[in-house]
């Protein structure tokens, strides 16, 4: 649970930096791809942390959450769909999900929490 807490805090910090511009009226699209189960708690933690920082969902950011329900074969389609919608950033939860998101996207920055190191350099 400590890892999830740390991940939520780090993710909130990254989103806070991204959302500083949202004070000027822009609404940022944040795509989220996760496997379901306990990762739902991380998303709720993200929402709560951003609220605590003064960011309101729908005013400064919109979360577009894709729960793949444990089906890793659907990650790439979910990520491509988010890229087509032109989200500003994708948050991926779990190493396997992050690697699939990386394969599927070309231009959207990825913020991730995983249990193993992931190299996200685009070639």
Task: Give the domains, in start order, of the chain with CATH numbers.
Answer: 2-113 (3.40.50.2300)
pLDDT of 20 > 70? The answer is no
User: CA-to-CA distance for 89 and 108, rounded, in angstroms?
Assistant: 6
Taking only the tens place, the pLDDT of each residue in 52-62 is: 999 999 999 99
Instruction: With beta carbons less than 8 A apart as the criterion, state whether 27 and 61 touch.
Output: yes
Sorting pLDDT into bands at 50, 70 and 90, what band is 73? very high
Q: How far apart are CA 13 and CA 96, in angstroms?
A: 23
Residue among 95, 55, 94, 100 nearest 75 (CA)? 100
């Amino acid at each position: 649970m400590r890892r999830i807490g740390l991940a939520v805090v780090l993710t909130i910090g990254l989103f806070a930096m991204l959302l500083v511009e949202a004070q000027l009226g822009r609404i940022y699209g944040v795509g989220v791809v996760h496997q379901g189960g306990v990762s739902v708690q991380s998303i709720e933690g993200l929402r709560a942390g951003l609220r605590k920082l003064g960011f309101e969902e729908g005013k400064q950011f919109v979360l577009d959450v894709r729960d793949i329900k444990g089906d890793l074969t659907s990650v790439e389609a979910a990520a491509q769909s988010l890229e087509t919608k032109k989200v500003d950033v994708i948050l991926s939860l779990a190493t396997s999900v992050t690697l699939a998101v990386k394969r599927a996207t070309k231009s959207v920055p990825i913020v991730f929490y995983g249990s193993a190191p992931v190299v996200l350099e685009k070639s």
